């Protein structure tokens, strides 16, 4: 199966292949998807900078792709990776570390 790029960008969920922890969520366009397939490491599309980025290029925290899985609509991608370090630009292992305050709890 191949992703449906008719909406241009795919929501991409990145998880640690060993621990199954969600590391980050990013966007992929067709070019970043193809670069990911060719290189075996994650590439994404930055909506804010409007450019491709190779995860780890600046930080050294590359992500080696283990498996790519599409959802039933072919417009969301789950990527299992072996990370070389923290996924978050803040230095946290995962981008998901901030609890939401809920009323009454």
* 71 annotated among ligand-binding-site residues: yes
C-alpha 18/C-alpha 1 separation (Å) is: 24
**88 a known binding residue?**
yes
SS3 of 23-63: the string is EEEEEECHHHHHHHHHHCECEEEECCCCEEEECCCCCCCCE
Cβ neighbours of 63 (radius 10 Å):
26
Q: End-to-end distance of the chain based on CA atoms, in angstroms?
A: 44
Q: Say if residue 64 carries a ligand binding annotation.
A: no
Asked whether residue 75 is marked as a ligand-binding residue, the answer is yes
Known binding residues for Zn(2+): 72, 88, 95
Known binding residues: 71-73, 75, 88, 95
Known binding residues for Mg(2+): 71, 73, 75
């Amino acid at each position: 199966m191949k992703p449906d790029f008719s909406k241009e960008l795919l929501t991409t969920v990145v998880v640690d292949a060993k621990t199954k922890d969600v590391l980050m969520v990013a966007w992929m366009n067709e070019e970043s998807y193809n670069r990911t397939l060719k290189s075996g490491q994650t590439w994404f599309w930055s909506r804010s900078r409007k450019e491709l980025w190779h995860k780890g290029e600046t930080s050294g925290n590359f992500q080696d792709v283990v498996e790519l899985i599409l959802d039933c609509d072919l417009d969301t991608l789950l990527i299992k990776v072996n990370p070389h370090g923290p996924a978050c630009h803040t230095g946290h292992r995962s981008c998901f570390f901030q609890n939401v305050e809920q009323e009454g709890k």
